[in-house]
Amino acid sequence: MNSKTVRLGSPRRGLRSVALGAAVVAALLTTTACQGDDQAAAPPTAVPSGSASAGGSTSSAVPSGSASAGESASEIAAPTGDSGTGSSTSSPTATGSGDSGETGGGNGTEYADCEADGLTTAVELQDERGETPRHFLLTVTNKAKTPCVLNEAPQVRLKAGNDAPIVQTLGEPDSEPVVVEGGGKAYAGLYVFGNDEGGEAEYDQSDRFTATLVAGEGTELSGTLTFDLPDGLDTVSVDDAARVNGWAGTEGLAMRPITQL
């Protein structure tokens, strides 16, 4: 009779398997509990520099220059160029007044107007010997070492006294001032008598010419220049035809218009 033998599992092996399974379950439960404790104890995450915090409710400090939620960019003060100040108003730019470099009372140059007591004078007759003396060259010399400026034309008087009539200027005087260097000279042409009929003795006589100077803005300066007549002339006849040319830097420029009279 055939027989089959059936082998039953060992009771000890079954108990070992049950114990091992229980240990695995306990280990899993322990791991889960530890993870929960770690998450509960984790510190809040720091807000990175430059990021915005939600409503500004986190304990992390928001670095300077970043805006929290709900705060407009216009409420953040913009930095100013001035160290240590909060004012955003820039300082005004300095501006100059008047003409650049002008120190001569409006003459348009960096030099002061010439003054009468700073000049010496001389007179030279331009007519030939034997002719009626009519044309004269007036010369002034700057006594100082620094330049000065002569404006327009000299205010010439052919009669004594500052109340004497001023000789009319021939044409329009040059608007450009004449700069007289230290020790330098300037010139003006003068025509004193226009009558061609002779008998000069019947007309007004003058033994010297006087002149005042004009400032850069056109006003008459104080002080008087005296031009004594050249040697050989005691007096000269003068009349209303007299004219004076404006200041010039050369003799030719001063006399050329006058010699046409």
Structure confidence by residue, pLDDT tens digits, 101-117: 344 457 889 999 999 99
Amino acid at 227: F
Using CA atoms, how far apart are residues 96 and 98, in angstroms rounded to an integer? Answer: 7
Phi, psi (5° rounding) for residue 108?
A: 80, 5
As a whole number, the mean pLDDT across the chain is 73
pLDDT of 11 above 80: no
Tell if the pTM clears 0.85, that is, is over it.
no
Tens of pLDDT, residues 125-147:
999 989 999 999 999 999 999 99
- Whose structure tokens read 């009349």? 239
CATH class of 116-260: mainly beta
Residue 58's Cβ-count burial label (10 Å; 0-12, 13-18, 19+) is middle
pLDDT top residue among 123 and 24: 123
pLDDT at 56: 45
Most confident range (mean pLDDT) of 37-46, 79-88, 222-231 is 222-231
Q: What is the pLDDT of residue 217?
A: 87
Give the start-to-end residue ranges of the domains of the chain.
116-260
What's the pLDDT tens digit per position in 214-248? 999 889 999 999 999 999 999 999 999 999 999 99
Looking at per-residue confidence, does 118 or 41 come out higher?
118
Q: Say what the pLDDT of residue 63 is.
A: 45
Identify which of 210, 211, 179 has the alpha carbon closest to the alpha carbon of residue 114.
179
- Please determine, for residue 120, whether its predicted confidence score (pLDDT) is greater than 90: yes
CB 112 within 8 A of CB 78: no
